[in-house]
């Protein structure tokens, strides 16, 4: 049984798109921060929070809120203000899907946090960040994993998976098997060229295989087979793409979109590799990539040049070894 309070919160959300203004901005801030809060399903306790161009998730549990990623440094108060529309319970658990210089988790802005989960490589990277120095070291992940990790039970069960370097070397796929929802953070930021941070151990060449492994391995969970039906995932929440103007947020990206993103990543990397193997220039590779616009007219290709350059340098590094 769910607590009635949860449903009350959901109904409230279904009525309007809520936004919560942050506390007065500090001098160095760009201005007031506002977080958009959306329910993903009126009968459920999982919500999307959007701010600063990012999408994160919040699971309102009985004992506290589980945040899947944070909106970044300075966004804690606005995130809390948005959560206040749902619950007075504190954020007790944070899952960090990855970390790099441009993506510093704001765990320390949620002082009641007791459990922080991340891939072991992400923890190692966070441990070197100034944001987690001194007293803030207690906000480093205290539960890490290399391949998979599960938390919570029943309808709230969350599974974390890692399939190798892609956006960084510590990316986590976050799956809610019973809700049919997967959250990929920057692994699937948008229907656009995948972004790789080589300084954080990411790999452009490995990206398609990582996505393919995810499609292969997390589309089926024997323990959640219901009757004769094989459970498949329906919905995929991207890390940055702007959600449609819709409440609740039901019709958005799906597992089929993740399959298409995987095919796009495969075609993208193949086009760059072929240009490199033929001894052609980076400009030629960029031209080959631009040709993908015919097959993927809805994909943003503006970051294609820099992504192609990165794959070129990965190929050069491999050749030099
Ligand atoms: Zn990132």
**Tens-place pLDDT, residues 172-182:** 999 998 888 99
Per-residue model confidence (pLDDT) at position 35 = 95
State the Rg of the chain over Cα: 20
Per-residue model confidence (pLDDT) at position 24 = 40
Phi first, then psi, for residue 234 (nearest 5°) are: -105, -45
CA of 12 to the centre of ligand 1 (A): 32
DSSP 32-98: --EEEEEES-TTSSEEEEEETTEEEEEEE-SS-EEEES---TT-HHHHHHHHTTT-SPPEEEEE---
CA of 37 to the centre of ligand 1 (A): 21
CA of 201 to the centre of ligand 1 (A): 12
Per-residue model confidence (pLDDT) at position 41 = 78
Higher-pLDDT residue of 319 and 261 is 261
**Tens-place pLDDT, residues 109-125:** 999 999 999 999 999 99
| Tokens 């959560």 found at | 83
β-pair type (158-161, 173-176): antiparallel
CA of 163 to the centre of ligand 1 (A): 16
Domain limits, the chain: 4-320
CA of 100 to the centre of ligand 1 (A): 6
Per-residue model confidence (pLDDT) at position 117 = 98
In this prediction, residue 200 has a pLDDT band, given cuts at 50, 70 and 90, of: very high
CA of 102 to the centre of ligand 1 (A): 7
pTM confidence score: 0.87
| CATH architecture for segment(s) 4-320 | 4-Layer Sandwich (3.60)
- Bridge partners (DSSP) of residue 182 are 175, 236
Per-residue model confidence (pLDDT) at position 233 = 63
């Amino acid at each position: 049984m769910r607590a009635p309070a949860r449903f009350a919160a959901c109904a409230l959300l279904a009525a309007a798109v809520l936004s919560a203004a942050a506390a007065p901005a500090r001098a160095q801030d760009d201005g007031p921060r506002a977080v958009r809060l959306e329910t993903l399903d009126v009968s459920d306790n999982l919500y999307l929070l959007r701010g600063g161009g990012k999408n994160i998730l919040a699971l309102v549990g009985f004992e506290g809120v589980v945040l899947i990623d944070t909106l970044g440094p300075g966004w804690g108060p606005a995130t809390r203000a948005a959560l206040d529309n749902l619950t007075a319970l504190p954020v007790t658990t944070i899952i960090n899907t990855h970390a790099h210089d441009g993506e510093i988790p704001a765990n320390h802005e949620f002082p009641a946090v007791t459990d922080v989960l991340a891939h072991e490589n992400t923890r190692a990277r966070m441990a070197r960040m100034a944001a987690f120095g001194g007293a803030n070291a207690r906000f480093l992940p205290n539960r890490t994993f290399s391949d998979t990790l599960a938390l919570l039970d029943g309808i709230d069960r969350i599974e974390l998976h890692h399939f190798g370097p892609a956006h960084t070397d510590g990316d986590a796929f976050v799956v809610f098997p019973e809700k049919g929802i997967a959250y990929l953070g920057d692994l699937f930021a948008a229907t656009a060229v995948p972004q790789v941070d080589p300084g954080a151990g990411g790999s452009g060449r490995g990206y398609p295989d990582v996505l393919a492994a995810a499609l292969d391995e997390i589309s089926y969970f024997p323990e959640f087979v219901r009757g004769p039906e094989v459970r498949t995932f329906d919905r995929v929440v991207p890390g940055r793409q702007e959600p449609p103007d819709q409440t609740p947020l039901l019709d958005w990206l799906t597992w089929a979109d993740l399959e298409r993103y995987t095919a796009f990543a495969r075609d993208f990397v193949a086009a760059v590799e072929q240009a490199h193997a033929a001894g052609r220039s980076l400009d030629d590779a960029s031209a080959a990539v631009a040709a993908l616009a015919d097959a993927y007219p809805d994909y943003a290709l503006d970051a294609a040049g820099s992504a192609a350059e990165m794959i070129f340098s990965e190929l050069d590094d491999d050749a030099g070894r």
